[in-house]
Chain A
């Protein structure tokens, strides 16, 4: 069974600082990895999908990398803003998603 871990569980940074969110998984034979954002009381917003043949994906201030051999993915958010405050979840996407517990980010103005 795929186990997905996200460290740290919570993170608080001042506005403008770069964010680094970590995700690790136990089975390196994954198909894809997806990063999501969840705001309190809301559903999940898909941020980035990295397919297994790719090493990274970028969208605006977001960049996600994937290292299958070490079982890790990292989400970088550049120049954080208070609006980036949310819970970020990674999920191994082998048609069904196996989620980590998430990292709750607070960006202080």
Chain B
């Protein structure tokens, strides 16, 4: 079946612009996660959704970052007023109700100029 998909695969933006990153989880997966991978910080957790609710937003680095999930499916990560330190690969993962195993998408590479 189809895996986790993310779009766009690459995004180049100017400092100060807003960006939206999209994640389509595996069909039927109830949990959805966002992570960020950068050279200096490795892989770090951002936010976790169970259904449409986000019980853990503890990894969002600042109030410029927000995320939502609709219909228990698609999620959008929004970064407002982007900064150069936001440059990273943003990864989305999902897992089913019956297992904690997380399945990752290919990521969105964000470059802030």
Name A's B-contacting residues (CB within 8 A): 31-32, 34, 36, 42-46, 49, 51, 89, 91, 93, 95-99, 101-102
Contacts and interface: CB of A to CB of B under 8 A. Distances in A.
A42 B89 CA distance: 10
A98 B42 CA distance: 10
Contact of B56 (A42, A49, A96, A102): A96
Interface of B: 4, 31, 33, 35, 42-45, 48, 56, 59, 91, 93, 99-107
The interface residues of chain A, by DSSP majority, are classed as: strand
Contacts, number: 52
Contacts of B106: 42-43
A46 B33 CA distance: 15
7 contacts: A34-B101, A45-B104, A46-B102, A95-B48, A96-B45, A97-B43, A99-B43
A44 B6 CA distance: 13
